[in-house]
Amino acid sequence: MEKKGQLPPPGSRQLNLRKSFKLGVRSLLTACPKEVITSLHGNIEDEFESLCRETQVGTTLDSIEEHVQEQTLDPLYIDK
């Protein structure tokens, strides 16, 4: 049972988005000196998380995932 203030666990689409973002950031930062990487990496991830919260991308991706699951369970849904 969820406690007040806690978010539900992210769905697979949301996890995939975060994983892709982190891989992209990592590949961009590998060309930078260590000092730059250290100072930027945390800021970039924090900004990404903030943007995801503001735009409610997690909620949207979870809704899409739920809709896709419902369609796969619906015998009347025709996949074209």
> For every one of its 80 residues, what pLDDT tens digit does the chain have, with 9 covering 90 and above?
445 566 667 788 888 888 888 888 887 777 778 787 777 777 888 888 888 888 888 888 889 889 888 888 877 777 65
CA-closest candidate to residue 58, choices 68, 50, 47: 50
Contact between residue 15 and residue 31 where contact means Cβ atoms under 8 Å apart: no
pTM for this predicted structure: 0.51
Q: For 30-47, give the DSSP string.
A: TTS-HHHHHHHHHHHHHH
Alpha-carbon distances of 55 from 5, 51, 71, rounded to whole Å: 18, 6, 25
- What are the tens digits of pLDDT across the range 5-24? 666 677 888 888 888 888 88
